[in-house]
Amino acid sequence: MAQILDGKVHADRILEQVAIAVQARVSKGVRPPCLAVVLVGEDPASQVYVRGKVADCARTGIRSIERRPTADLSQSELNAIIDELNADPEVDGILVQLPLPKGLNSKEALHRIDPAKDVDGFHPMNQGLLLEGLPALRPCTPTACMNMLEAHGVDLKGKRAVVLGRSEIVGKPMALMLLEKHATVTIAHSRTVDLPGVCREADILVAAVGQPGLVEGSWIKPGAIVIDVGINRVEDPALAQRIFAKDPKKQATFAAKGAATCGDVRTAEAMEVASAVTPVPGGVGLLTRAGLMLNTVQAWESRTSV
């Protein structure tokens, strides 16, 4: 049976370190760090994510402010909010919560954020610095995955790593970070020929495609480490029956609530084959939020002096 890689344990450790670092500088007269969150509209999932991030700020001594415009906001109005936060000397980090409502261009918004305040690490300048292996604000989710691997003493040198997904937010930066640690990296996606076979080559398999239960146990190399980035809500009974076939707990949750949360990996099946697996929920997501706090403090430290 595989080891569960508990994200909460590692997230708590990171948040504690962040709180100590903040207090150390604040005690010397430096103003607290400040994270500005822009949440457009009333998307329920986004509201949950933002509440979690605001709670992490409170826990670590980071001041948080929110901008909550309605979903009928125009692109120019959203850009104006970002410009205002860019110009505010008291704001160290800016996060535009995704997804944005229809009609708004997320890339235009993200690219408008000052790279020095881009705590999500999505700006082309920060992604370019990552490509060159230089210090930058890096995307939180891939960084979280790397932190988890490091915390468990995984030596990536020479290992075969497969990243399932090619987004600018997770897949591509994840591949670069693994490559930086001397892994041999393959990026797989929907057009990959023999996707299960490619996944079976992986010593480290990172699933980040947003398709519930896509990765079956038969896709996993015995002894592999599986990092599941996906967070999906399953409401279709037929799909639930198929992907939760070996997961009585998920079956019970679905029967009771008519829905269940799962990752891109069939966790119960993976547990029978892999050496270690991240759960969903309770895995990478919590570490991603902790990484956001780290990035906020990094941006703050670069903009203030003791």
Residue 130 included in any domain:
no
Instruction: Write down the pLDDT at residue 1.
Output: 83
Is the C-alpha dihedral spanning 208, 275, 280, 97 positive or negative? Answer: negative
- For residue 53, indicate whether it is catalytic: yes
Q: Are residues 146 and 204 in the same domain?
A: yes
Q: Whole-angstrom Cα distance, residue 252 to residue 258?
A: 10
Residue 305 included in any domain:
no
Instruction: Write down the pLDDT at residue 83.
Output: 98
Residue 300 included in any domain:
no
Least confident of 35-39, 122-126, 144-148, 271-275: 144-148
Residue 217 included in any domain:
yes
Q: Are residues 84 and 209 in the same domain?
A: no
What residue numbers bound the domain in which 85 lies?
Answer: 29-114
In this structure, the dihedral spanned by the alpha carbons of residues 124, 128, 129 and 131, taken in order and rounded to 10 degrees, is: 140
Q: Are residues 156 and 278 in the same domain?
A: yes
Instruction: Write down the pLDDT at residue 149.
Output: 94
For residue 202, count other CB atoms closer than 10 A to its CB.
Answer: 25
- For residue 97, indicate whether it is catalytic: yes
Q: What CATH code is carried by the domain that includes residue 49?
A: 3.40.50.10860
Q: Are residues 174 and 212 in the same domain?
A: yes
Tokens representing 72 are 């009928």
Q: What CATH code is carried by the domain that includes residue 147?
A: 3.40.50.720
* pLDDT more than 70, % of the chain: 100
Q: Are residues 33 and 152 in the same domain?
A: no
Q: Are residues 177 and 242 in the same domain?
A: yes
Find the mean pLDDT for residues 251-269. 96
Taking only the tens place, the pLDDT of each residue in 52-77 is 999 999 999 999 999 999 999 999 99
Taking only the tens place, the pLDDT of each residue in 106-144 is 999 999 999 999 999 999 999 999 999 999 999 999 999
Residue 297 included in any domain:
no
Residue 296 included in any domain:
no
- Which one, of 232, 231, 220, 214, lies nearest residue 277 by Cα? 220
Among the listed residues 97, 118, 203, 221, the single catalytic one is 97
Is the predicted pLDDT of residue 305 greater than 80, yes or no? no
Q: Are residues 86 and 161 in the same domain?
A: no
Q: Are residues 280 and 169 in the same domain?
A: yes
Q: Are residues 97 and 144 in the same domain?
A: no
Instruction: Write down the pLDDT at residue 154.
Output: 94
Binned at pLDDT 50, 70 and 90, residue 240 comes out as: very high
- Which one, of 106, 105, 103, 104, lies nearest residue 95 by Cα? 106
Q: Are residues 96 and 154 in the same domain?
A: no
Binned at pLDDT 50, 70 and 90, residue 198 comes out as: very high
Residue 290 included in any domain:
no
Binned at pLDDT 50, 70 and 90, residue 45 comes out as: confident
For residue 241, count other CB atoms closer than 10 A to its CB.
Answer: 11
- For residue 246, indicate whether it is catalytic: no
Is the predicted pLDDT of residue 306 greater than 70, yes or no? no
User: Mind giving me the DSSP string for the chain?
Assistant: -PEE--HHHHHHHHHHHHHHHHHHHHTTTPPPPEEEEE--S--HHHHHHHHHHHHHHHHHT-EEEEE---TT--HHHHHHHHHHHHH-TT--EEEE-SSPPTT--HHHHHHHS-GGGBTT--SHHHHHHHHTT------HHHHHHHHHHHHTT---TT-EEEEE---TTTHHHHHHHHHHTT-EEEEE-TT-TTHHHHHTT-SEEEE-S--TT-B-GGGS-TT-EEEE---EEE--HHHHHHHTTT-HHHHHHHHHHS-EEE-SB-HHHHHTT-SEE--SSSSHHHHHHHHHHHHHHHHHHHH---
Residue 18 included in any domain:
no
Is the predicted pLDDT of residue 50 greater than 80, yes or no? yes
Q: Indicate the number of domains in the chain.
A: 2
Q: Are residues 90 and 151 in the same domain?
A: no
Instruction: Write down the pLDDT at residue 43.
Output: 87
pTM: 0.92
Find the mean pLDDT for residues 201-221. 97
Among the listed residues 56, 92, 118, 120, the single catalytic one is 120
CA 90 to chain centre: 26
Least confident of 49-53, 198-202, 203-207: 49-53
Q: Are residues 108 and 162 in the same domain?
A: no
